[in-house]
Amino acid sequence: MVGSDYHRHDCSTIVVFETDHRTKFMLWRPQTALLFLRQACRAQHFSAQYQVRRQWGGMAKVANRVCLIVIDGWGLSDESNGNAIKNANTPVMDGLCSGNWTQIEAHGLHVGLPEGLMGNSEVGHLNIGSGRPIYQDIVRINLSIKDNTLVKNEALVASCNRAKSGNGRLHLAGLVSDGGVHSHIDHLFALIKAIKQLGVPELYLHFYGDGRDTSPTSGVGFLEKTIAFIKEQNYCQLATIVGRYYAMDRDKRWERICVAYEAMIGGKGEATTVEEAPAVVKKRYAAQETDEFLKPIIINGDKARVKDGDTLIFFDYRADRMREISEVMGMERYKDCKSSLPHPKNLHVVGMTQYKAEFPFPALFPPLSNKNVLAEWLASQGLTQFHCAETEKYAHVTFFFNGGVEKQFENEERCMVPSPKVATYDLLPEMSSAGVADKMVEQIKSKKHPFVMCNFAPPDMVGHTGVYEAAVKACEATDKAIGRIFEACKENGYVLMVTADHGNAEKMKAPDGSKHTAHTCNRVPFTCSSKDFKFKKARILCLQETKSIFRTNFFVFFFSLPTALLLSAMWHRPFLL
């Protein structure tokens, strides 16, 4: 679904097929979704053997068992130089990718990361297991700014309304830089615009210097940029400048927090004007006092202090270094500061995100609830499942694949194969791929579980060593292990699906010839095979690569993502010849 309809209708559907003739089918009613899928398949010359075995509202009746393999670090690239995957002898994956396959984006916004950022194992497994992009906080904020919905943010509107109906005063406090680790200056500017648009009479800014995620003396540039923006908007007043060493402590050094607290509350610090503030900061630099350690600079005197009845919004999105200062401002923890200043009464505190579950104050972007991830849905239908990986990737097939849920779901069996104890994995590039394959083959032959899945670590873990020859061996060992599992799948009636969480081993050399050890932004494969069927001419696409959603009461999945076809394969034989 797209836009607000996705949130408003729990049972909305969009299904998009693209054929050689670029025909598209779209539907919005789940009651007829399966009928539509059957008709669409017939229209595109799929076999009449397409059968629906799912009884809506009841327990799942499995027509096919499914095996999902996630290869860690198996990206796609046409470049041969330094491509350990392309140059390895991998007949199994070559065969799987010769017909029944497609390519999937595994980086940036496609998987909920900032645009252009390479994927990683945690995010990859989280997205595959959830069947939808799980946006990080920074991405959610960026998107709200991009689509102009920040001004409609429920918690922001409520905070502004409170300020307007009260004393008319609202404060923003947070780290001002473009470091992007804890906050971003663009978020600050967007908030100022939104609060102005929402009509709050008085807005004050408490500026925390960075100097850790940015250059130690870059703060004056961010200060000048902020002052220029405030003048341009003719709105907001600078109130306090203080280093993150004081305002963003996380080690319970309350004496540090007290410095920032007393500056914001009582104006303790060096007084100056907004015009002179940059010069004051430069003088501090000359005295070896850099951004992180800036002692309080007070601007606009007493009127800009946090007072009784005010509203205070912290705009850092990372939680760990906001917990203490927000707790001091919003709860009884201010007593630990041992400050003689009276704490403001009836102070309304808001966080950009949820800084701690126990905190009573609201967040502009509360945590998303990853409901109905694949493992949870299978458990809710009374189906058993098996997750396997070696030690290095065990958390990825459990915690991350299960949507960030620590607990084991009902009827979920797990297996951890010990990773080899070597100094670096290039010394044993096959790692424990054979052991993982052993466990998977054993479970497949038992036919105990309708769903089994595993991770193969070698391409990624050996890829990180930068040793090209070892990475080639890692890919070959992984291919051999997949071949054993595929044979077991064919013999025991399992549909095999193979994908990857991100790229790595396909790029072992940098342009200058040096070792490349990082992940890549390359696409990854997705294959679907069994002895009974293969794809014909049509393929399933998603809107904007990963955004076409098929939603029911039980789960959400994205067409063209592994989870989608995995679930559909378990219900029925989706694309038979």
Q: What is the set of active-site residues?
A: 121
115 token code pair: 């645009």
DSSP codes joined into one string, 176-237:
-SS--SS--HHHHHHHHHHHHHTT-SEEEEEEEE--SSS-TT-HHHHHHHHHHHHHHHT--E
Helix (H) or strand (E) holding 164: helix 154-165
Q: Which of 123, 141, 119 is nearest to 132 (CA)?
A: 123
DSSP codes joined into one string, 40-105:
HHHHTT--TT------TTS----SSEEEEEEETT----S--TT-TTTTS--HHHHHHTTSSEEEE-
| CA dihedral over 262, 267, 272, 276, signed as positive or negative | positive
Q: How far is CA 380 from the centre of its chain?
A: 25
What is the distance in angstroms between the CA of the first residue and the CA of the last residue of the chain?
30
Number of Cβ atoms within 10 Å of the Cβ of 553: 10
CA distances from 431 to 226, 339, 417, 487, 577 (A): 52, 57, 10, 21, 38
Helix (H, G, I), strand (E, B) or coil at 380: helix
Query: In this structure, are residues 160 and 153 in contact, taking their beta carbons and an 8 Å threshold?
Result: no
Query: In this structure, are residues 467 and 83 in contact, taking their beta carbons and an 8 Å threshold?
Result: no
Rounded-to-integer distance, Cα 111 and Cα 151, Å: 25
Rounded-to-integer distance, Cα 287 and Cα 292, Å: 14
DSSP designation for 392: G
Rounded-to-integer distance, Cα 431 and Cα 459, Å: 10
Reported as half-sphere exposure (CB side, CA atoms, 13 A), residue 278 has a value of 11
Q: Give the residue carrying structure tokens 């007829």.
A: 32
Burial 164-177 (b: 16+ CB within 10 A, else e): beebebbbbbbbbb
141 token code pair: 């904020």
Rounded-to-integer distance, Cα 75 and Cα 523, Å: 6
Query: In this structure, are residues 528 and 96 in contact, taking their beta carbons and an 8 Å threshold?
Result: no
